[in-house]
């Protein structure tokens, strides 16, 4: 069993280190890169790298494109690498997260193409339903602002809390909670640590990619999950302002939104853990 204090402490330290790394490497406006038919893309392993590898193996040659995938396991370094030109683009994040990152780091990253949605889910290893979550429960949520707000919106939709009227869910914080009838204690963690926290908290709101890596399905394992219908949290291909019109970036965008990729997503994640954005 994980030690709760150790887990939380290490997660906070890791998040702080990543934030410092981001601030130390990003330098505002980026320069265009020369891709010459080969595009290097930073991605988290599941499902993003899986989708990119499907394209690389089945569609890229016909489009005259070579795709190199560099895998990352956190939500900060892919943006650092894209901003400093180590990679040409990245594929892992939602637009609210990107907006928050740009504002915090003074970067010029932009969305290029919406690809898929990963419904956010509430999971537990100790209770079998939302109703069974006990009074005074500890619930882990993502520690970054956009995903933390998304988690609070999910918990409000599940009936566990009530948010104040007029609050933008993408910006919600604990200060915006109007009612908390079960006196839930929220435990903010770095997103990659959420699945690991399940043995130490009563429940955790886990981002889709990390749930998949932990063999959790929003459709089959979550106590409650977002609906994909009208979901504003699509995952995007992202690059710099200088590279947004790059021919190879645009080719990859077209492939990511192709019918072949949509069918690959539907076939691979038939339980609805990942759904095409459109």
**In a shared domain, residues 150 and 108:** no
**In a shared domain, residues 175 and 198:** yes
Question: Per the domain annotation, does 240 fall within a domain?
Answer: yes
Question: Per the domain annotation, does 149 fall within a domain?
Answer: yes
Give the integer Cα–Cα distance in Å for 49 and 70.
Answer: 8
**In a shared domain, residues 131 and 182:** yes
**In a shared domain, residues 145 and 155:** yes
C-alpha dist (Å) from residue 37 to 62, 108, 229, 242, 246: 12, 23, 36, 17, 10
- Of 97, 96, 94, which Cα lies nearest the Cα of 116? 94
**In a shared domain, residues 152 and 165:** yes
Asked if residue 189 lies in contact with residue 195, where contact means CB atoms within 8 angstroms, the answer is: no
The residues facing 224 across adjacent strands are 122
| Chain centroid, CA 91 distance in Å | 10
3-class SS at 126?
coil
**In a shared domain, residues 112 and 250:** yes
Please classify residue 28 by burial: count the beta carbons closer than 10 Å to its beta carbon, then call 0-12 exposed, 13-18 middle and 19+ buried: exposed
Task: Tell me the residue range of the domain where 205 lies.
Answer: 121-225
Provide the b/e sequence for 7-17 (b: ≥16 CB within 10 Å): bbebbeebbee
**In a shared domain, residues 270 and 252:** yes
pTM here is: 0.88
Average pLDDT for runs of 10 along the chain of length 278 = 40 41 51 89 98 98 98 97 97 96 97 97 98 98 95 97 90 95 98 97 97 93 94 96 97 98 97 94
For residue 67, the domain's CATH number is 3.40.190.10
C-alpha neighbours within 13 Å on the C-beta side of residue 62: 6
Q: What is the pLDDT of residue 278?
A: 85
Number of folded domains that form the chain: 2
């Amino acid at each position: 069993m994980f030690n709760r204090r150790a887990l939380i402490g290490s997660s906070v330290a890791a998040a702080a280190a990543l934030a410092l790394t981001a601030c130390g490497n990003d330098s505002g406006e980026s320069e265009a890169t020369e891709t010459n038919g080969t595009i290097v893309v930073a991605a988290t392993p599941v499902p993003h790298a899986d989708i990119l590898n499907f394209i690389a193996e089945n569609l890229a040659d016909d489009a005259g494109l070579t795709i190199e995938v560099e895998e990352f396991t956190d939500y900060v370094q892919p943006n650092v690498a894209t901003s400093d030109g180590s990679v040409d683009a990245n594929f892992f994040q939602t637009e609210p997260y990107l907006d928050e990152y740009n504002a915090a780091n003074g970067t010029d990253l932009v969305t290029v193409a919406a690809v898929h949605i990963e419904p956010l889910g509430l999971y537990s290893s100790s209770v079998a339903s939302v109703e069974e979550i006990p009074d005074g429960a500890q619930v882990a949520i993502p520690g970054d602002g956009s995903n933390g707000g998304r988690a609070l919106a999910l918990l409000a939709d599940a009936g566990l809390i009530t948010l104040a009227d007029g609050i933008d869910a993408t910006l919600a914080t604990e200060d915006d909670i109007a009612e908390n009838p079960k006196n839930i204690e929220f435990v903010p963690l770095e997103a990659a640590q959420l699945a690991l926290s399940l043995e130490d908290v009563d429940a955790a709101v886990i981002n889709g990619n990390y749930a998949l890596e932990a063999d959790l399905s929003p459709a089959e394992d979550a106590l409650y999950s977002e609906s994909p219908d009208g979901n504003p949290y699509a995952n995007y291909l992202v690059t710099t302002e200088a590279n947004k019109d790059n021919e190879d970036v645009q080719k990859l965008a077209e492939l990511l939104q192709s019918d072949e990729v949509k069918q690959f997503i539907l076939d691979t994640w038939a339980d609805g853990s990942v759904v095409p954005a459109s």
